[in-house]
Amino acid sequence: MQPAVPTIRQLSSTIHLWTGLALSGIVILLSVTGSVLVFKDTIDAWMRPDLYEVESAGEQSVGRAVHAIPNVADGESPWLIELSGHRDTPVVVWMGQGEEHVFVDPYRQTVLGRRAPDAGFVNTLFDLHAELMAGRTGGIIVGVSGLLLVLVSLTGLVLWWPRRLRALRAALVVVWKKGWKRLNYDLHRAGGFYTLGFVLLTATTGAALIFYTSTQELTNTATGSPAWPPAPPTVDTPVSFSPTAIDAALDSARSALPGATASFVYAPAAPEAPLTVRLQAPGEWHPNGRSFVHIASDGSVLRVDDARSAPVGSRIMHATYPLHIGAVGGPVVRWLYVLLGLAPAVLSITGTIIWYRRWKRTVPDQGGDSAPDAEAPVPVRAARLPE
């Protein structure tokens, strides 16, 4: 006799159960940390006002602020300048190869403090969320978990789908007054359906960010898009990174992209490299922007890489980060991300409780003297879910 071939529903049940249980711990961790990180900049500024509080006074000079750092005066070169676009925030200078962040008041050219890139509560939380504090290996685990979460979500949709139309209403309703067991089941089933779109969005974008290069190549191939942006242009005369050159480059970049907000200034990485300014042009979703303006030694614009004109494949990739962190929209969207971001944790907990209760009914009583269970043991595979 040929063994029965499992149906799609049976196969989905097996995948959903065991993959969901295996992922439950890491999903809870990523869910909670992700919700907190939606407001990471606000939390970081609140926890470290000594680094982030700046009183605006007159005009900023980013160039003079950078060169006010004693290390720079002694000959050490910064490689990146981080700007926020707000008048009451500091300039953050990345020294060495990102070994130290120096916070500088751009109005008074005074150093507010220094911090390692991975120091502080928010940075630690981010490292935990993105790499489990285990470097690239941890990042791969997070990325694979995101892909598996997509699989768990889709198989959950198969299991949620009512077998009869009259059972649709029950599948969409959470009953609050029939005890915690029914509430737990409804939260898992109906809650999983209502939050499915958000979970799929954050899981896929999170995995895409972890495997960014591979995802970008795949997206470019699928859309027939060339790689973007092209390599930076070269210069014949080395570009100075003096205070005047930095401020002039920012002015030139803003003129080249009217209305854009500068987010980073990259120091020339080689004698033939230009000075590059990264900006968020109007209409860009990415909070830091993905547009670049390359500046020559005389302050003239060599080339503008406007993200709004990028190929389709690159524009899709540019959307992954803002969609993942809730940067598309204002505070209301961010608060929705905080609340919905906890959904995977809730689903993991409620799902584990459902499995545990059913597993417990399959375990025979080992006590000997205790009364038999009121419910006859029912194998997990044969347990019928309420419609």
Q: Where are the domains of the chain?
A: 20-39+125-201+337-359, 55-79+89-119, 229-309
- For residues 355 and 347, the answer to whether their CB atoms sit within 8 Å is no
- 375 has pLDDT over 50: no
Alpha-carbon span 157 to 206, nearest angstrom: 21
Question: To which residue do tokens 């978990």 refer?
Answer: 145
Please write the tens of the pLDDT for every residue from 103-120: 999 999 999 999 998 899
Phi and psi angles of residue 98, each rounded to the nearest 5 degrees, phi first: 85, 20
In contact, 322 and 307? CB cutoff 8 Å = no
Task: Give the separation between CA 120 and CA 52, rounded to whole angstroms.
Answer: 13
What is the SS3 assignment for 46? helix
Q: Tell me which amino acid residue 287 is.
A: P
Q: Which of 305, 307, 308, 310 is nearest to 293 (CA)?
A: 305
Place of tokens 């999170």: 206
- Inform me whether the pLDDT recorded for 333 exceeds 70: yes
Share of residues in the chain with pLDDT > 90 (%): 77
Given a cut of 90, whether residue 255 has pLDDT beyond it is yes
- Continuous segment of H or E residues that includes residue 177: none
pLDDT in tens, 30-50: 999 999 999 999 999 999 999
Average pLDDT over residues 192-201: 97
Which of 17-21, 87-91, 374-378 ranks highest by mean pLDDT?
A: 17-21
Report yes or no: 167 and 289 within 8 Å, Cβ to Cβ. no
Nearest to residue 200, comparing CAs of 140, 138, 157? 157
Q: Which amino acid is at 6?
A: P
pLDDT tens-digit map of 279-323: 999 999 999 999 999 999 988 999 999 999 999 999 999 999 999
Using a pLDDT cut of 70, give the percent of the chain over it: 91
**66 Cβ neighbours under 8 A, 6+ residues apart:** 72, 78, 81, 91, 93, 104, 243, 246
Listed in sequence order, the residues at least 6 apart from 43 whose beta carbon sits closer than 8 Å to its beta carbon are 36, 121, 122
Q: Quick one: pLDDT at residue 92?
A: 95
**pLDDT (0 to 100) of residue 300:** 92
Residue 85 is predicted with a pLDDT of 81
What's residue 247's pLDDT?
A: 93
CA distance linking residue 70 with residue 74, whole number of Å? 6
* pTM, full prediction: 0.88
Asked if pLDDT for residue 86 goes beyond 60, the answer is yes
Per-residue pLDDT of 224-238, as tens digits, reads 999 999 999 999 999
pLDDT digits (tens, 9 = 90+) for 122-159: 999 999 999 999 999 999 999 999 999 999 999 999 99
> Residue 373's pLDDT is what?
37
CA distance 291 to 111: 29
**380: pLDDT confidence band, cut at 50, 70 and 90?**
very low
User: Which H/E stretch holds residue 216?
Assistant: helix 212-223
pLDDT exceeds 80 at position 171: yes
Tell whether the model's pLDDT for residue 344 goes beyond 90.
Answer: yes
- CA-closest candidate to residue 136, choices 50, 76, 213, 59: 213
Over residues 211-219, the mean pLDDT reads: 97
**Alpha-carbon span 340 to 120, nearest angstrom:** 26
In this predicted structure, the answer to whether residue 223 has a pLDDT above a threshold of 60 is yes
On the question of a cis peptide bond just before residue 229, with omega within 30 degrees of 0, the verdict is yes
Mean pLDDT, rounded, for 174-186 = 93
Residues sharing a CB contact under 8 Å with residue 115, sequence separation 6 or more, in sequence order = 48, 51, 100, 101, 103
